[in-house]
Amino acid sequence: MRVIVTGSRDWDDPRVVREAIVSRLRVLPNRTDTTIVHGAARGVDNIAAFEANMLGFRVEPHPADWDEHDRDGVSGVRCLCRDHAPVCPAAGPRRNEAMARLGADLCLAFPNGPSPGTTDMIRRAGQHGIPVEIIGEFA
C-alpha cells in the first residue's frame, strides 16, 4: 500500500498526523509493505516521515528540486521562469505531479489554513484517481 501525506508547512501537532496514519493503516497485517510518500518539506511532511519511521513503515521522500526548470513541460508541469531565475516556483507542483503519477492507494491531507501546496497535491491526487482524506481546515 502507498499513502501520500501532504500538508501545511506550519503544522505543529505531530499527534494528529500520527493518529491519522495509525487509524487508517492499523488494519494492515504487515507494515513493511506500506510506504508513506511525502514531499520532504517542513511541517506535515517531516512529521509524517518521523512518525512513519517510528511505526515501522517504509518512507519515500520526494523533495522539490527548486534549481530545476522544465520549460518544455516534460514533467507535466511547465516552467514559466525567465532564463536566469534562481529558483523555479513550479518545483513544488512538479514534485506533487511526480508523486501522483507514481500512484497511491490514499492521500492524507493536513491543511492548516491557506495552503497552496496542499491544495495542489489534493487536486493532482484526484486527477490521478487517488482517494483523498482531508484532516484539518483550509480556513
pTM: 0.90
Averaged over 24-49, what is the pLDDT? 85
Cα separation, 85 vs 113, whole angstroms: 29
Contact 79, 19 (CB under 8 A): no
Strand order from edge to edge, sheet including 58-61: 58-61, 35-38, 2-7, 106-110, 132-134
Count CB-CB contacts under 10 A for residue 47: 23
Q: What is the pLDDT of residues 62-82, one digit of tens each?
A: 999 988 888 888 888 888 887
Cα separation, 46 vs 9, whole angstroms: 9
Nearest to 8 by CA among 33, 36, 43: 43
Q: Which residues contact 129 (CB under 8 A, 6 or more apart)?
A: none
Averaged over 108-132, what is the pLDDT? 95
Extents of the domains making up the chain: 2-134
Tell which wins on pLDDT, 111 or 31: 111
What is 2-134's CATH number?
Answer: 3.40.50.450
